Structure 1
Amino acid sequence: MSNVVSVIDTSSNTVITTIPVGSFPFGVAANPSLARVYVANVFSDTVSVISTNSNTVTATVPVGDSPIAVAVGPTGARAYVTNTDSDTVSVIDTSSNTVIATIPVGDRPVCVAVHPTQARAYVTNGDSATVSVLSTNTNAVIATVPVGNRPSGVAVDGPRARAYVPLVGSEAVSVFNTDTNTVIGTVPAGDFPVFVAVDTTRARAYVTNFDADTLSVIDTDTTTVTATIPAGDGPGGVAVDPAGRRAYVTDENWDAVSVIDTDTNTITATIPVEDAPVGVALK
């Protein structure tokens, strides 16, 4: 583990710089409205705040024990951090880079996603087999959704009122209705599905299957798998560009990021990065 963030130029598919952060950086989220990126440092119990203008760390925010994932709200005013060993979520005021609330959730929270239009955040609890639904107005849990064995990643499709949760222990993805907070289906995935990204424009969800070395493509209108794409060695984090034409997947065992053409479902580039990359975000 190099304890750095690699910055990639997506037009040339090359690393243009690396930024030192805390110990064991894992989750990463972009905040375009403030030209910042937030990195959860698991072993430092901190979040590094990076300026995307200068590519330097401008603040370090202490959070809970073993922060693993981070998500930014739609206005950019708040960032939400899952603290796996504290069973909490830290809420960061992005203007002051301070924690303004700590929310108890389920056992061993893993990932968090924020609804794009409603005042809700969704937290997967790996050892509780649930998703905690948070009110981002009151910073409190307002619902708990049973989803299945060892939920990991989570992504929200706002226009379709759906959330997608890979289940590491079930080789499947749980789909629940974000209006009713009820599970409406389960979609088969590959071995050890971990993370997910949603392309709302093209009605797709992309799920990384770590042990299968593949990416499952789900049609979010029909809730069916339409393709399974080879995706390197140990695929983990996944992000889709705003146009939905490229998916970026971290390959932990390749020390690389795979670039996938979502029209042809093929890898078009492999970008070498530092040791064991996990999270990926686009700004």
Structure 2
Amino acid sequence: MKTFTMVLAVLPAISLLTGTAFAQQVPNAKPDRPISAQDRFYTSDQFSNTVSVIDPSTNRLLGVIKLGDLTPANLSPLYKGQLLVHGMGFSPDGRTLAVISIGSNSVTFIDTATNAIKHTTYVGRSPHEAFFRPDGREVWVSVRGEDYIAVLDGSNFKETGRIAVPNGPGMTIFSPNGKYGYVCSSFSPETVVIDAHTKRIVGRIKQDSPFCPDIAATPDGRQVWLTLKDVGKVMVFDAKPPFAVLKSIDTGAITNHVNIARTPRGQFAYVTVGTQNIVKVFRTDSFEQVATVPVGALPHGLWPSGDGSRIYVGLENGDGVAVIDTVTNRLLTTIPIGQGPQGVAYVPGAVPSGDGMTNLVPLEKANGKVQLTLSGQGQSQVTLFDQGQVQILQAAVAGLPPKQPFTLGLAANPDGTGAVQPLAKFMTNPAGAAIVNAVGPIRQIVTDATPAQRRYLVIRVGDPDAPGAVVQRQATTN
């Protein structure tokens, strides 16, 4: 009996050292599951309108699930596919993926074993993220273009009700025990806590700014972390009443998403910082920053593996997934995927049997890109995503004065002088940054044209009708 007692006593210590059954991962605090060929990592690719499917046991792209067409085909009034594939969540049993398409106001439910579409539900204007309640009975969709959470039945995916929240709900995540739903806002400086069963607001947390795109609950059930993209911060509050703010941390311009990993060394928050192309790592007990991991162009969504040993990061302007080892906090590899990954999800045991290749299609050659840099006052990264004859331009602008108007355009001269053809006007956020988009045959004239026809990307102060001084201009071509 003495020997048996001693063995039981050391089991918890062994689990902490090895990261096995006693550790828990997000979102539902389930026991660790070692990485295997049954797992899948998914990205929602906004510009190719695809879902990329990766086998994390080999870190290989298996193919994509095509939900829509490239531009300009998707601009037709008769278009029936999905547009701006963006957000992502999954069911507690790992059998269903919920994929949000902002432009078509839809939630597409996909069978993870067969990659087949089960159902498509259309909701209100510009939904952003969807997530299943931990018991699987409901799906809560944050309808960011309006002021409510659309509640869908977890079995037939039909809308059953709405929960009124502050304008512009960005995302909902649930407490591990399913008691609370935490909803941050992208248009109002307030996060609300909702009783998941009564559907009533039971707590309110003041955000440091109005623009929260992402929120995560720690698997130990103690904290909630959220990002503030416009001011470059993360906030942390107590997951239980009275939901007091615990910490506000400056992280950097275009702070996108946050997620949590439990490892043998403790519990850590991983935060993507877009304009710096890095992931910052913080302890959740002391809030100390312990690592900075360079990952690639404009990191966006991220999610831990089922055992917390890796973090998978979507690179919005890099058409790739960066894989981070959580023991060393170093980049392991980068996997090519579809265009402009946004939301992501790691689903342990997504494919219970077989190779999981059914209904996948190869990544198309049209998914090429050109990357440029604009330098001067600050620096901006620009990616041109090929869509056939045209490209979608996305610029991650940084280093400019905050809350000021600027114009992105095409200049006749390399120094930005001369005639300038405006592409997009924009306003910088309080951190002096912005995400700017345009569409057209831009690559052909900024990289491929003859000297006489060549144009150069520039950013100038002011509106297109009254352009001012050049602050950034095209510097290099990668």
**Fold match by TM threshold 0.5:** yes
Q: Deviations over 1:77-105 (max 9, x none)?
A: 22111111112111111111111121121
Alpha-carbon distance, 1:118 to partner: 4.0
Distance 2:144 2:132 in 1: 18
Counting only pairs closer than 5 Å after superposition, residues 55-74 of structure 1 correspond to structure 2 as: 55-74=115-134
**Within the alignment, does 1:247 sit opposite 2:311 as a pair?**
yes
- Compute the displacement of 1:160 (Å): 5.0
1:165 aligns with 2:226: yes
Q: Deviations over 1:24-51 (max 9, x none)?
A: 1111112141611000110111100000
Distance 1:229 1:195 in 2: 15
CA distance 1:184–1:199, shift in 2 (3 Å): same
Tell me, in whole angstroms, the C-alpha distance in 1 between the residues paired with 2:146 and 2:180: 21
**2:243 counterpart of 1:181:** yes
Q: Secondary structure at the match of 1:152?
A: coil
Specify the alignment match of 2:454 in structure 1: none
Aligned residue in 1 for 2:166: 106
Instruction: Give the Cα–Cα distance (whole angstroms) in 1 for the partners of residues 328 and 249 of structure 2.
Output: 22
Deviation (angstroms), 1:69: 0.8
**Which residue number in structure 2 is paired with residue 275 of structure 1?**
339
Q: Which of the numbers 153, 157, 163 marks the counterpart of 1:93?
A: 153
Aligned pairs for 1:77-156 (under 5 A) are 77-149=137-209, 150-156=211-217
- Counting only pairs closer than 5 Å after superposition, residues 193-232 of structure 1 correspond to structure 2 as 193-201=255-263, 202-232=266-296
Q: Is the 8 A contact 2:92 2:134 kept in 1?
A: no
**Alignment length, in residue pairs?**
283
* Bigger CA radius of gyration: 2
Assess, with a 3 A threshold, how the Cα gap between structure 1 residues 160 and 59 changes in structure 2: closer, same or farther. Answer: closer
1:8 aligns with 2:68: no
SS in structure 2 of the partner of residue 5 of structure 1: strand
Tell whether the 8 Å contact from 1:190 to 1:216 is kept in structure 2 after alignment. no
SS at match of 1:143: strand
- Alignment partners' CA distance in 1, 2:207 and 2:281: 20
Query: Do the aligned residues in 1 keep the contact of 2:175 with 2:221 (CA within 8 Å)?
Result: no
C-alpha deviation, 1:163, in angstroms: 0.5
Alpha-carbon separation, structure 2, partners of 1:18 and 1:151: 29
Structure 2: where are the runs of 5+ without partners?
1-46, 68-81, 348-478
Cα 1:205–1:83, aligned 2, differ >3 Å: closer, same or farther?
A: same
Structure having greater relative contact order (Cα 8 Å, sep ≥ 6): 2
Whether the aligned pair in 1 keeps the contact of 2:283 and 2:289 (CA below 8 Å) is yes
Q: Is the 8 A contact 1:117 1:158 kept in 2?
A: no
Q: What CA distance in whole angstroms lies between the structure 2 residues aligned with 1:135 and 1:101?
A: 15
* 28-37 vs 212-221, greater mean Cα deviation: 28-37
Q: Secondary structure at the match of 2:297?
A: coil
Contact 2:92 2:135 survives alignment (8 Å) = no
Cα distance between partner residues in 2 of 1:57 and 1:118: 27
Aligned partners of 2:180 and 2:262: how far apart in 1? 18
Which runs of no fewer than 5 residues in structure 1 stay unpaired? none
* Separation in 1, partners of 2:145, 2:221: 33
3-state SS of 1:85 partner = coil
SS at match of 1:282: strand
C-alpha displacement of 1:152 = 2.3
The equivalent of 2:20 in structure 1 is: none
Choose between structure 1 and 2: higher helix proportion.
2
Deviation at 1:242, TM superposition (A): 2.1
What do residues 208-249 of structure 1 show as CA deviations (whole Å, max 9, x unaligned)? 111111111110011121111112110000001121111010
Q: Which moved more, 1:203-212 or 1:183-192?
A: 183-192
**Aligned CA distance change for structure 1 residues 280 and 185 (closer, same or farther; 3 Å):** same
CA–CA distance in structure 2, aligned partners of residues 8 and 117 of structure 1: 29
CA separation in 2, counterparts of 1:185 and 1:143?
Answer: 17
CA RMSD across the alignment:
1.4
| CA apart distance, 1:143 | 2.1
